[in-house]
Chain A
Amino acid sequence: MSQLLQALINGIALGGMYTVLVLGFSIIWGVLGVINFAHGEFVMVGAYLAWLANEYAGIDPFIAAPAIFVVMTVVGFVLQRVLVNRVIDRPHLVSLLVMFGVSIILANGMKLIFTADFRRNDTALDGSWQLLDGVTVPVTKFFVLLCALAILVGLSAFLQRTRLGKSIRAAAQNREAAQIVGIDVKWVYAVTFAICIGITGVAGALISPILAVQPFQGPPLTLKAFAVTAMSGLGSIKGALGGAMLLGVVEAGLAVYVAGIGTNLAVVASFVVLVVALITRPQGLFGGLRPVDATAT
């Protein structure tokens, strides 16, 4: 019983991490229609910023996160104007390949600056809480989950309540209609991309005390973001949470209950779930900002 409870807690903690990791990726795909292949690299850059803040100014990553959000938002805005704008109306292969180029440049550029050495960030929020006998809650991951939920709520409110948020939703659902009613779609795209890169940078800062920071940590994170997004629906905030939790719990469960090779199976599982979900429920599990149908021509 305590093992089941612990597995659930591990899974939810993992899900919290995946949620914060996947949000930016999912919304960029949903609104701009661009698959951000460099997603994991933006996480990595955010993590390095958090590490720098801690190493040279002694700022805790949880406190540095808002500043990192601002910095990464600017980075995202510039990148959108310079590069991403050119590929928005082009087919997916183009944006996929351009962002893949960006990922290569970011990973190797960061390697030139910081070397390939592993860095780890510290936070005051570490250790664990004893819940019951044999059941503990990891503190850092708990606060990551809290932050993820806060970002989720904030983002929902922003998209539902504010004028800009409504413009973003309109642009995602029907771009031409949005233009007709006077929405500056290019501006909306730039703002969306900037905010999403900001959130992605924050994700990097939040996970920097959990995962070692290094230039080549990006690709597995991008793949996870792919899996969760395709499964749960493009730009769907509820979906991102649901998909991330589902994946987290499945992975943690497999790893705890299958002896010897459970952790390996968990890696396979996320992609098997992805492929099966795409084929059997091509419209996504949760529905999103824009219609998804993976089998429609």
Chain B
Amino acid sequence: MSAIAAFVRSPALRRLGQVVTAATLVYLAAVPLLPQTNDATLFTYTLMLTTIGVAINWNLTGGFTGYVDFGHAVWFGIGAYVTAIFMSTEGNSLQIGWPPVLCILLGAVVSGVLAALIGSATMRLKGPYFSIAMLGTFVAMREIVRVAKPVTGGGVGLNLPLYLNRPLFYYVQLVLVAALLVFTWWLRRTRFGSALVAIREDEVGAEMRGINATRTKVAIFSFAGMSTGLFGGLWAFQITSVDPDTAFVELRTVEAVMGAMLGGIGTVIGPVIGATVLFWLNEVVWANFLDFHLIVQGVLLIVIVLYIPRGLVGLFDARGPSVITLLDKWLGTEPGDTYGDDRVPVRAGLGSAESGEWFEDEVESDPVLTGGGTEPGSDSERATV
């Protein structure tokens, strides 16, 4: 073990890690109470939490089961629209005016049910065909909402009653994101979670081992749809108006995919880190480069995909080229054995409750990024295009 590796594994640093993690949580919980915090800060944080939440949801199917959903934002839009339809009391709507909480929950349920229905059809498709079918679903849904004018207000959209309470929304979304994170972490430890990864690794093999692949993947797809629908409903509530072009935005899918990719696809904590970094990166790049910021984003995306396919989490993962091995090389503290000493126990310990295992998912064997177990470029892989 190198000196660096030894240092980062020392008990003192471990203690520091606990302190920093705890401090981050306390800070986030206390943000609305800080004197310099105003509604603008909270709104920014809330939008960030929305991005994180959607990225976590996308990762549930895109990362764990390997079904790359290119139309995930459709559930966001449906959640937003159902909330708006049942909540709006103004002229261009059905004027139902139900209580907000009920409307938002209803939005989530409708998203979940539709995700189950659409998913059971589209999830029969594999690889890029599934991605394209979902992209098509997304575009078609936006047009359907436009055409269904009597219910949705058509292209004009709907206005919601003005009810803005930033601290409340912030806490609701903070709790939601935290709950989602804990849920994902727990999920990875269940039999169901293992089944998801088994489908990603080898769907036919998984079925032969008695996993009902169809039911499993549609279930998680539906859950992800429901959860994203929930964020959509909350978003509609806060932005106070929806129309097809603001509720159904391709960029929301892109941000979710990029967040998960940047953080580490198929990991528990990856989407959170990726979406957070991306959100603030956007703010900074955008403030300083203006016209160039989208170009910078495009370059960034290519660099991430080509050079750090396992994401930021992968950088701190000792299995491949990582910050630690680079540091070792740079300082000349070449390790005899950088990693591997306790690798096996981690794999064996899938059921334990160590929080550190959030980063222990088998990123390197992710078929989405590495081509799975098949020889890259071999016919068996290529025939499935």
Q: Which of A's residues lie within 8 Å of B, judged by CB?
A: 29, 33, 35, 83, 86-94, 96-98, 100-105, 107-109, 111-112, 174-176, 219, 223, 226-227, 230, 234, 261, 264-265, 267-268, 271-272, 274-275, 278-279, 282, 290-297
Flag if A278 contacts B125 (CB, 8 Å).
yes
Flag if B136 contacts A267 (CB, 8 Å).
no
Q: Mark B288-331, 1 if CB is under 8 A from A, else 0.
A: 00011011011111100110010000000000000000000000
Flag if B147 contacts A104 (CB, 8 Å).
no
Flag if B367 contacts A91 (CB, 8 Å).
yes
Looking at the complex, which of B46-54, B267-275, B372-380 is the stretch in contact with chain A? Answer: B372-380
Flag if B377 contacts A97 (CB, 8 Å).
no
Flag if B143 contacts A267 (CB, 8 Å).
yes
Flag if B369 contacts A94 (CB, 8 Å).
yes
Flag if A295 contacts B382 (CB, 8 Å).
no
Total number of B residues with any Cβ neighbor in A under 8 Å: 55
Given contacts A87-B306, A89-B377, A265-B143, 4 further A-B contacts (CB under 8 A): A86-B306, A108-B298, A111-B291, A295-B126
A116 to chain B, nearest CB (A): 11
State the CA gap A268–B128 with chains docked (Å).
Answer: 20
Q: Which of B's residues lie within 8 Å of A, judged by CB?
A: 68, 121-122, 124-129, 131-133, 135-137, 139-140, 143-144, 146-147, 203-204, 250, 254, 257, 261, 291-292, 294-295, 297-302, 305-306, 309, 367-372, 376-379, 381-385
State the CA gap A265–B146 with chains docked (Å).
Answer: 10
State the CA gap A108–B286 with chains docked (Å).
Answer: 14
Flag if A175 contacts B377 (CB, 8 Å).
yes
Secondary structure of the A side of the interface? helix
State the CA gap A297–B69 with chains docked (Å).
Answer: 17
Indicate which residue in B125, B128, B261, B377 contacts A295 across the interface (CB closer than 8 Å): B125
B216 to chain A, nearest CB (A): 15
State the CA gap A296–B143 with chains docked (Å).
Answer: 30
Contacts of A88 in B (CB 8 A): 377
Indicate which residue in B131, B302, B369, B385 contacts A234 across the interface (CB closer than 8 Å): B385
Flag if B129 contacts A278 (CB, 8 Å).
yes
Flag if B68 contacts A93 (CB, 8 Å).
yes
Contacts of B146 in A (CB 8 A): 264
Using CB atoms, name the residue of chain B closest to A111.
B291
State the CA gap A22–B371 with chains docked (Å).
Answer: 27
Flag if B261 contacts A97 (CB, 8 Å).
yes
Flag if A112 contacts B301 (CB, 8 Å).
no
Contacts of B305 in A (CB 8 A): 87, 94, 97-98, 101
State the CA gap A230–B301 with chains docked (Å).
Answer: 26
Flag if B309 contacts A176 (CB, 8 Å).
no
Contacts of B137 in A (CB 8 A): 271, 275
Flag if A91 contacts B302 (CB, 8 Å).
no
State the CA gap A88–B305 with chains docked (Å).
Answer: 13
Contact A102 B302, CB 8 Å, known A93-B369, A271-B137, A296-B126: yes
Indicate which residue in B128, B147, B254 contacts A264 across the interface (CB closer than 8 Å): B147
State the CA gap A176–B68 with chains docked (Å).
Answer: 28
State the CA gap A90–B302 with chains docked (Å).
Answer: 14
State the CA gap A87–B377 with chains docked (Å).
Answer: 11
Contacts of B294 in A (CB 8 A): 104, 107-108
